[in-house]
Amino acid sequence: MNDNTRSGTGNNLDPWYGNYAARAAGLAASEVRALFAVASRPEVVSLAGGMPFVSGLPQDLVIDAMNRVMSNQGAAALQYGSGQGVPALREQILDVMALEGIKAGVDDVVVTTGSQHALELVSKLFLDPGDVVLSEGPSYVTAVVIFKSYQAEIEHVPMDEHGLIPEALREHINGLKRAGKRIKFLYTIPTFHNPAGVTLSWERRVEILEICRSEGILVLEDNPYGLLYFEEKPPAAIRSLETDGVIYLGTFSKTLAPGFRVGWALAPHAIREKLILANEAAVLSPSSFSQMIISQYLDTADWKGQIDTFRGIYKERKETMLSALTEYLPDLTWTNPNGGFYVWLTLPDYLDSKQMLPRAVTELVAYTPGTAFFADGQGRNNIRLSFCYPTPEQIKLGIRRLTSVINAERDLLESFSATGPLTAIRRDDNYTAPPPNTN
């Protein structure tokens, strides 16, 4: 046994506890991950996870692509590949990004094992302990986990119904500079934000990019949902405005299927070269098999038509969720996304969504508490509701069950408030919740 273990630096649960690197302390199961075991029970209506509705993808399209790959390229598909990705797929990714207003060259694209892998690689390349990552507040839960695992500090910048607030970004940058902090990049999900559902306006995209240019701050643009709009097409990607100061992350997980685990990063030349090296060091090469299947699918199927089908499915489910919220919880507020997967619900200040979750699970409904999307404990009176996976009937049932949970919590707290009005939970004054947009 290791000397450190014998000397008592381990514990009963993990005898190797004292041997881990310091950065391992930042690795913790997210609240979203912890929900999956519960949400997978068939009797539970899960409004928690952001799982795409893969049953909306005709299986014959995928089976045909797989058969073609194995018949025509089987040996290559089962072999190691390039650390940058299959050239044919990288060419096709350019066509996908063109729909977001992006112009690039095939050599600028690095294929990764899902876009989250790209996010981890960028963090590995740029973050030292104590560095600062700017991000919206709230922000994508696993991005928060990744940044913390590299011992970075996360500075949440307020947002509203138009996305990240430029003036607040300036204030946060100036405050960090005065404190002697080193800002490495701005992480943003500008289109159909996860979890808030809002979209950064075109005017703000231009202004925020100009702020980052003037301050020498790299922009990391994460765009999983941009093609899944319901009505009006969203503004072009931030990367369409800037070549050298933006890393753009894309994925096929939401517009095709997450099981392929294929995403990509579009990066400036010097960063791209380091991304390839980091990719090779991490996985040697992304899956040739998955890449070739997707490439065959893009080459032979009506993939734009399939995305349009997904838009219709998700639009119906969003409208069902908003209709149910209006019927059962009319006094609360929520966002009305024009695309993506999520609605951000705001509860009264005195309710705590994290403490309320066990009661919700007992009532056979699951959601993600708002605290999961902050690094600093904010979001206690917020809930992320996902409408992407459950059917419209399940969504109605889930909101009805959630309503009973919220009302029971209200009644319980009111019964203990005879000495005075219900008091608000502690909130951070820097947080600006997106206002309701339910019309």
Residue 343, domain member (yes or no)? no
Q: How far apart are CA 343 and CA 197, in angstroms?
A: 6
Q: What is the pLDDT of residue 290?
A: 96
Q: What is the pLDDT of residue 418?
A: 55
Q: What is the pLDDT of residue 431?
A: 40
Q: What is the pLDDT of residue 429?
A: 40
Taking only Cα atoms into account, the Rg of the chain, rounded to an integer number of angstroms, comes to 22
Residue 346, domain member (yes or no)? no
Q: Alpha carbon of 212 to those of 146, 187, 261, 316: distances in Å?
A: 22, 11, 31, 37
What CATH number should be reported for the domain holding residue 281?
Answer: 3.40.640.10
SS3 113: coil
Q: What is the pLDDT of residue 26?
A: 67
Peptide bond into 138 cis (omega under 30): yes
Containing structural domain, residue 252: 72-300
Q: How far apart are CA 241 and CA 27, in angstroms?
A: 35
Residue 375, domain member (yes or no)? no
Q: How far apart are CA 120 and CA 126, in angstroms?
A: 10
Q: What is the pLDDT of residue 403?
A: 98
Residue 365, domain member (yes or no)? no
Reported as half-sphere exposure (CB side, CA atoms, 13 A), residue 127 has a value of 28
Q: How far apart are CA 377 and CA 386, in angstroms?
A: 21
364: how many CB neighbours lie within 10 A of its CB? 15
Residue 41, domain member (yes or no)? no
Q: What is the pLDDT of residue 415?
A: 78
Q: How far apart are CA 324 and CA 390, in angstroms?
A: 14
Residue 3, domain member (yes or no)? no
Q: How many domains does the chain have?
A: 1
Q: Which residues contact 66 (CB under 8 A, 6 or more apart)?
A: 293, 296
Residue 164, domain member (yes or no)? yes
pTM confidence score: 0.89
Which positions of the chain have pLDDT values less than 70?
A: 1-12, 26-40, 417-439
Residue 310, domain member (yes or no)? no
